[in-house]
Structure 1
Amino acid sequence: MEPVTWGILGASNFAATRMGPALHAAKGSCLAALATASPEKAARFAAFAPGLKVHESYAALLDDPQIEAVYIPLPNTLHVEWGIKALEAGKHVLIEKPLAMTAAEIAPLIAARDAAGKCAAEAYMIVHHPQWQLVRRWLDEGRIGRLKHADVTFTYDNPDPANIRNRADVGGGSIPDIGVYAYSSIRFAARAEPVALHARLQRENGVDTFAQVWGEMAGPDGAFSFAALTSTRLYPRQEVTFQGEAGRITLSAPFNAGVFGEGQVSLHGFNTTETHRFPGVNQYVLQVEAFIAHIRAGTPFAWTLEEAQKGQAMIDMVRAGEI
């Protein structure tokens, strides 16, 4: 079977260091083209993808008949626009999170996917990591009894005003950047949706740099309390806890496993602890391989556009709940 040939729109640092190498390393996958007008940026990709074709415009890459799938790591405000253009050009498309600035903006992308008959998804890589699949299974099995509370912390320090994550004009802020992980990780694992949310936000130059969120979510076993802290102005920290009537589940590197620390999940019961470690797992490669299976064999993809839209609806709810 021929490998899926990928093109990337734009030469972001994240694409150069994480997703580009994953696209080239995944089984049945080949990074074949890049759209950038910068020879210096292109050289970073050519270093791990020999023979890389470089297009000077996004449109030129979409017109390339040798490219079957496109990865889009552009600024947040451009995701839907170029995702639709890629689908209309007959490409499968994997779009970096967050897909959009509001849930309503994702509807035209879903319609474009359906009209094109191609695969399209948000690059929400954590759901492909075995640690999150294990947490979901434990919760499904009732290993901690009825879920009563979930809390999340995801922080890092990025004070550079020129950084794209600190620019309001391209959809920056801690919520679009990492709130998408903090909120939808709970949605995914607990199969839950928010009922009511409140938020306290701090802003700099029009973007949120600190978001404290609390409220209630509801899953198969009923309602549970929820609390989340995200910030781009605090010392790096990642922690997730699910607390039930008969125990709790903790993740010590829930979002950047392998970078922030080794993926590790623990199940704490009365006088017992069960811990699973996941050394050497690359969740970006797993994500690409799952997307290729979706393209080639129609295997269900763990994070559909509809799931991403529900995640964005939760972000919308957070903003609407600011006090």
Structure 2
Amino acid sequence: MTDQPVRWGILGAARFARQHMAPAIHAAEGAELAALATSSAEKFAEFAAFAPGITHHNSYDDLLGDPNIDAVYIPLPNHLHVDWAIKALEAGKHVLCEKPVGMDVAQIDRLIAVRDQTGLLAAEAYMIVHHPQWQRAKELIADGTLGELCHVNAAFTFRNLDQGNIRNQAEKGGGGLRDIGVYTLGSARWATGQEPQRLSHARVQMDYGVDVFADVGFDFPGFTYQGFTSIRMANRQEVHFHGTEALLTLTCPFNANVFDQAELHIKRPDGSTTVERFAGVNQYVLQVQNFGRSIRQGAAYPWTLEQARGTQAMLDQILATV
């Protein structure tokens, strides 16, 4: 164990990395944004503007060879995730990789095997489990506040018609399910601690080789699930956990502080509603800090590759129906 900060490198100057994860690494306790790999001097300058002293590497391999880097964050297109995560582990770096960490279960199994061989931490950047609203939701379900959980339904949509965007490119692992279905599906698994027994229905619409709308249902041991995703509809995100004694609603479950303020609404049969608000919480910063505690202090990490694999298994079942 050591109190030294985790020195982070980022593979690629993705916009999401620039807007969210790089600032989060820079702001997190116990972390240092130390290096960026990009062939673009202009993009590097955007990162260096808020992280002075960051090292510029012109290639991903160069960054992986940097002995001053402890961990790498991978925001590359989906189809590149597993290969570069494995290269990073083999180079002796801990890995935090954007979701979906793999394109299918078999890819995640490859990554798990290398993680086990190296003994390093490898995880999917599934930030929502680090947010206190989801930890609170999990607690409310477990302690019986909702009574017997009967049904979960979730929605996550946004509108993206840009064919140059990787979400609309099949060859790069695009589509709504891989981009946002990981949240509607994985959050139900994480919050309830249950795994699906079977796919009950799947209605998937395709455009340019990627899913642009998916309405799916699963049967869990204790409840039914229905969720939909779309990358062609107006912005929406909600999750509802419907029990016999109360209805729990998360009004901004996934993009807290971006889509809206994170709130939990607990509505009871007598018509009363309790609202819990989580203002100003940055789930990306919490994710980086928890990753560092796992590396430096041996703390359990709240979202393992095995948990990511469970969500991927659901995605594989849905996509097999197309």
**TM-score, normalized by length of structure 1?**
0.97
For this pair of structures, how many residues does the alignment match? 318
Task: Provide the C-alpha distance between the structure 1 equivalents of 2:317 and 2:144, rounded to a whole number of angstroms.
Answer: 28
Percent identity of equivalent pairs? 54
Task: Provide the C-alpha distance between the structure 2 equivalents of 1:215 and 1:15, rounded to a whole number of angstroms.
Answer: 33
Of 120, 127, 130, the match for 1:125: 127
Amino acid at match of 1:273: T
Amino acid at match of 2:209: G
Of 208, 216, 220, the match for 2:219: 216
Partner residue in 2 for 1:75: 77
Deviations 1:266-292 (A, max 9, x none): 111122322110000000000000000
Partner residue in 2 for 1:307: 307
Task: Provide the C-alpha distance between the structure 1 equivalents of 2:220 and 2:312, rounded to a whole number of angstroms.
Answer: 15
Amino acid at match of 1:206: G
Deviations 1:82-109 (A, max 9, x none): 1011000000110000011111111111
Question: Deviating runs (4+, > 6 A) in structure 1?
Answer: none
Which sections of structure 1, spanning at least 5 residues, go unmatched? none
- Which stretch of structure 1 is more off in the superposition, 207-216 or 287-296? 207-216
Deviations 1:115-170 (A, max 9, x none): 11111100000000000000000000111111110000000001000001110011
SS of corresponding position for 2:220: strand
SS of corresponding position for 1:238: strand
Task: Provide the C-alpha distance between the structure 1 equivalents of 2:246 and 2:53, rounded to a whole number of angstroms.
Answer: 53
Task: Provide the C-alpha distance between the structure 2 equivalents of 1:210 and 1:254, rounded to a whole number of angstroms.
Answer: 19
Which sections of structure 2, spanning at least 5 residues, go unmatched? none
Task: Provide the C-alpha distance between the structure 1 equivalents of 2:242 and 2:295, rounded to a whole number of angstroms.
Answer: 37
Partner residue in 1 for 2:94: 92
Partner residue in 2 for 1:262: 261
Deviations 1:176-212 (A, max 9, x none): 0000001000000011211222211111110011111
- 1:202 is aligned to 2:202: no
Aligned CA-pair RMSD: 0.9
Partner residue in 2 for 1:29: 31
Of 51, 58, 61, the match for 1:49: 51
Shift in Å, 1:317? 1.7
Partner residue in 2 for 1:244: 243
Shift in Å, 1:321? 4.4
